[in-house]
Amino acid sequence: MRENARSFLAHEGTVPTRFSSSEIRSSWQRCFDIGLDPFGHPEQIQISATALKNRREEKGLVRRQAKLEMKNLHRQIAGSNFIIIFADSDGVILDRIVDGSIATNNPGRTLPDFIWQEEINGTNALGMVAVSRKPAIVHGGEHYFKAYADLTCAAAPILGRNRELAGIIDATSDCRSRQRHTLALVTMSCITIENGLFRDRHKDNSIFELHNRREFLGTLQSAMLAFNEDGYLEESNGRARLYLPDLPVGVKIHFDEIFRTPFRELKGLLTRLLITFESGRVCAEDIQKILSVPPADTAAETQTKNLADRELEIIRAAYERNSGNISAIARELGISRNTVYKKLKEARKIRLDV
């Protein structure tokens, strides 16, 4: 089938639709379109020792976290003849961990300083991730070049701020040692690194984690949002949109607008709790005093009043940010112009410039 696909590609200029997955077919097509011969041999291109040193230094933080996670990944798949690779966003191998005898079967081609870009080595998982920024697995004859048909590789991206590609983790094995769960493990390792980088970027900000099940907070499944000291969202991780699908992209938004809860009030509460816990022994009465829980008969009334007040605060904040432009306010908050007029009139503190 692979030989037929190569012949078809060489003669017709397209990959047969019945061949492999759409992702693999797209990669083969890209390789052919840039002039790679499907019956040819890949180049083995290396960078200089100085260039390797510079790239390692440039990727200092992500590289340190990646090396730790590579060791954890190695413990999970040890004994299955894998090479675990960390590469930068250009597909240049910076580090590797070798398991078993695979190193003797693949001399040199997975050493640090080798480049595994798709336009050089054809279809391979590491190169595909560098292009798509999505997890990929390439098995045996799915590789563009027959020279790599004895390998199976699974790779996933490490995404940084604004979802830019910060690095790639790849697990490569002899194709006879293929493990179907490997891609999932590699992807989990990359998410762990991403979360570590997220926390490091926002060590001076307030980070909130979200999940619809409490027991999953603090796990790889958590959404994370970082807010600066003024309560504005600085960054959210990849899972945040699963729980907040309407979270705007590229728009400065305040905590109060997302959660309808005053950020300063919540921050003050957390600070008071922290001081209380650090001061020594804490009992339930202490926490209740800090929380100032209203009596049961007034709780519903207070909650209704607070929600109304917070709604007006959000409208007023949007009014100030948009210099009174009603249409802009409506677009930002996702409500109609009439609703904006109504809410502003209720506030009675803002003079409308119609």
Q: Report pLDDT for 300.
A: 44
Count of structural domains within the chain: 2
Are residues 194 and 307 located together in one domain of the fold? no
Q: Which is nearest to 69 in space by CA: 242, 194, 210, 215? A: 194
End of a domain among 199, 219, 239?
199
Task: Tell the burial category of 279 from Cβ atoms under 10 Å away from its Cβ (0-12, 13-18, 19+).
Answer: exposed
Domain of residue 77, residue span? 2-199
CATH, residue 339: 1.10.10
Pick the range with the lowest mean pLDDT from 94-108, 294-308, 319-333: 294-308
Are residues 184 and 41 located together in one domain of the fold? yes
Does a structural domain hold residue 315? yes
End of a domain among 178, 199, 220?
199
Please report which residue ranges of the chain form alpha helices under DSSP H.
Answer: 2-12, 22-33, 49-58, 60-77, 102-105, 118-121, 125-132, 182-201, 240-243, 255-259, 263-278, 284-291, 296-321, 326-333, 337-347
Report how far residue 195's alpha carbon sits from residue 343's, in angstroms, rounded to the nearest whole number: 39
Residue by residue, DSSP assigns 223-237 as EEEEE-TTSBEEEE-
Are residues 179 and 64 located together in one domain of the fold? yes
Does a structural domain hold residue 156? yes
CATH, residue 84: 3.30.450.40
At residue 112, φ and ψ (nearest 5 deg) are -55, 140
Are residues 56 and 168 located together in one domain of the fold? yes
Does a structural domain hold residue 97? yes
Residue 294, Cβ neighbours under 10 Å: how many?
13
Tell me, rounded to whole angstroms, the distance of Cα 333 from its chain centroid.
26
Does a structural domain hold residue 24? yes
Tracing tokens 């109609």 back to the chain, one arrives at: 336
Q: Report pLDDT for 35.
A: 95
Residue 151 has pLDDT above 60, yes or no: yes
Q: How far is CA 137 from CA 34, 73, 124, 152, 307, in A?
A: 22, 17, 8, 7, 49
Q: How far is CA 227 from CA 7, 161, 201, 256, in A?
A: 55, 14, 12, 11
End of a domain among 199, 231, 261?
199
Residues 205-239: pLDDT tens digits? 989 888 888 888 888 888 999 999 899 999 999 88
Mean pLDDT value across residues 262-274: 68
Q: Can you tell me whether residue 110 is helix, strand or coil?
A: coil
Q: Which two tokens stand for residue 164?
A: 């830019």
Does a structural domain hold residue 250? no
Predicted TM-score of the model (pTM) = 0.73
Does a structural domain hold residue 244? no
Report how far residue 201's alpha carbon sits from residue 207's, in angstroms, rounded to the nearest whole number: 11
Are residues 159 and 304 located together in one domain of the fold? no
Whether residue 31 contacts residue 123, with contact meaning beta carbons closer than 8 Å, is answered with yes
Per-residue pLDDT band at 53 (split at 50, 70, 90): very high
**Which are the contacts of 89, defined by CB distance < 8 A and separation ≥ 6?**
130, 164, 165, 166, 167, 168
Report how far residue 163's alpha carbon sits from residue 106's, in angstroms, rounded to the nearest whole number: 33
Are residues 189 and 313 located together in one domain of the fold? no
Pick the range with the lowest mean pLDDT from 73-77, 84-88, 116-120, 282-286: 282-286
Chain mean pLDDT for the chain: 81
Does a structural domain hold residue 254? no
Are residues 183 and 299 located together in one domain of the fold? no
Does a structural domain hold residue 289? no
Degrees to nearest 5, angle at CA 47 with 84 and 23: 50
Percent of the chain's residues with pLDDT above 70: 78
